[in-house]
A = this chain, B = another copy of it.
Amino acid sequence: MPPPVPITVRYRFRASSAAEARAHADALLVEQTVETPPVVSQRYPYVREHLMGSVAQVEDLGEGHFHAHLVLPEGLAQTDTAQLLNVVFGNASIHAGLVLDGLDLPESLLVGRGPRHGLAGLRALCDVPSGPLVASALKPAGLSPDEIAALAFGFGLGGLDLVKDDHYLADHAFAPLDARVRAVVEALDRAADRTGRRTRYAPNLSGSPGEVFRQADVAQRLGADAVMVAPMLVGLPTTAELVRAHLSVPLLAHPSFSGMNVASEVLLGQLFPLVGADAVIFAGYGGRFSVDPEACRALARRIRAPFDGMTGAMPVPAGGMTVERAAELTAFYGPDTMLLVGGSLLAADTPGDPTALADATRALRLAARPTGC
């Protein structure tokens, strides 16, 4: 049996010498634990014995970059999700130029957390046992429920696996959540009657906790197959409570407002699944965001295996993906991927005639899964 994993964080920072880097690592350990001078923390036996943590290693990466590997006290993080984030990167996040780019958690902190459906659950929901999945978005914000449903009908006819709301769709007067969900579910059912295959729908939830929980109830009651939230907008602990207490359907996580000094592989690849995301949308290589291809591939791998023993989530590259590049991109990311294509499909739409959008959708699906299914 492998030894138990402690909380281990890896911080990247610059320093002018190995000695300075070591001093910085020591200071960061204090920052993330007792946050008092040694003369104070050493007075208290329980603190001294259980809550000091340690600097496991300071690694010279060359060219003035260093990695500090800290072991942090499990007992300090055990109460709740907010506190877990606090211990992992609370005050350290305020230090300019510091990045959290590695994280390990002990099993005690994984219990009751993580995706409930995960990658396999998404596959089952969409009835795609193998090969990449394809998804799209209902947008722009400002469309009426009928206009949104018309798009959904085209996607449904084309056999799209999953369609989600644009992340700018909240509970607006121009398209209230309940009217939107009713209209889209009806449109997808109608399309399925013709095709024999049902596109799945994930409406977007937004608001303060009470409102998000209410919207989750409404969406599920009206037939949503999954829901989407942006964990950094609503808060990671809110997302955790949503998943644990209010959701039976899978959760898609959107990356809005996630520009933190935490590496994507940790924030989206580990922390989003930790609070229960079954699928994680990210700005993917091959679109309009400047992102490194290998970093994207590593992020996708991490989403599928966030922590040892945790159910993997579905990686969902997005942000300017196109039908034309679908084959190349699904080859790049591998089959355990949901490709999210928005504008490129919607540009093919002809309002009033669902067949144009259906044809583009079908082309996307065939590009991603040439053998059909």
Contact = CB atoms under 8 A, between A and B. Distances in A.
Interface string A272-294: 00000000000100001111000
A244 B208 CA distance: 11
Interface size band for A: 35 or more
Interface string A20-35: 0000000100000111
A347 interface: yes
A47 B140 contact: yes
- The prevalent SS among residues of A at the interface is loop
Nearest to A97: B290
Interface string A308-349: 000000000001000000000000000000000011001101
Nearest to A48: B142
Contact of A37 (B43, B142, B343): B343
A87 interface: yes
Contact of A256 (B90, B140, B233): B90
A51 to B, nearest CB: 4
Contacts of A235: 209, 233-238
A10 interface: no
Kindly list the 6 A-B residue pairs having the minimum CB-CB distance in the complex, ordered from nearest: A235-B235, A93-B259, A209-B209, A34-B140, A47-B142, A90-B256
A370 interface: no
Interface in A76-98: 76, 78-83, 85-87, 89-96, 98
A342 B35 contact: yes
Query: Quick one: which of A95, A142, A255 has the most chain B CB within 10 A?
Result: A142
Given A47-B142, A283-B94, A290-B96, A83 B170 contact: yes
Contacts of A139: 34-36, 40
Contacts of A244: 208
A245 interface: yes
A8 to B, nearest CB: 18
A83 B257 CA distance: 11
A193 interface: no
A141 interface: yes
Interface in A233-260: 233-238, 240-241, 244-245, 255-260
Nearest to A275: B208
A230 interface: yes
A368 to B, nearest CB: 21
B86 A233 contact: yes
A207 B81 contact: yes
B210 A140 contact: no
Nearest to A50: B142
